[in-house]
């Protein structure tokens, strides 16, 4: 039982290290983006990138024909 707990603790620590690494990478990339003079645009909640007049768009994931 103790070995299982130790193994789970190691996995949780490993996951935390990966998550922190990703957070640091995102922060660095965001800072570089902003430092280059670009801006982040905030999109209002509920706004869609699809044009409602054209109807819904289906995304084809595979070119396989039925």
Do the domain assignments include residue 1? Answer: no
Residue 32 forms part of a structural domain: yes
Domain range for 24 is: 13-39
Can you tell me the mean pLDDT for 4-8? 61
**Cα end-to-end distance, the chain, whole Å:** 52
Q: Is residue 66 part of a domain?
A: no
Q: Is 23 part of any domain?
A: yes
For the stretch 43-57, pLDDT in tens is: 888 887 777 676 666
Q: How many domains does the chain have?
A: 1
Question: Rounded to an integer, what distance in angstroms lies between the CA atom of residue 56 and that of residue 46?
Answer: 16
Asked if the model's pLDDT at residue 22 lies above 60, the reply is yes
Token code pair at residue 45: 């909640």
**Residue 24 located in a structural domain:** yes
Q: Answer whether residue 6 is part of any domain.
A: no
């Amino acid at each position: 039982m103790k070995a299982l707990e130790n193994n789970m603790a190691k996995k949780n620590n490993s996951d935390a290290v990966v998550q922190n690494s990703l957070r640091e990478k995102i922060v660095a990339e965001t800072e570089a983006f902003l430092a280059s003079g670009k801006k982040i645009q905030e999109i209002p909640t509920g706004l869609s990138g699809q044009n409602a007049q054209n109807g819904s768009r289906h995304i084809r994931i595979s070119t396989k024909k039925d």
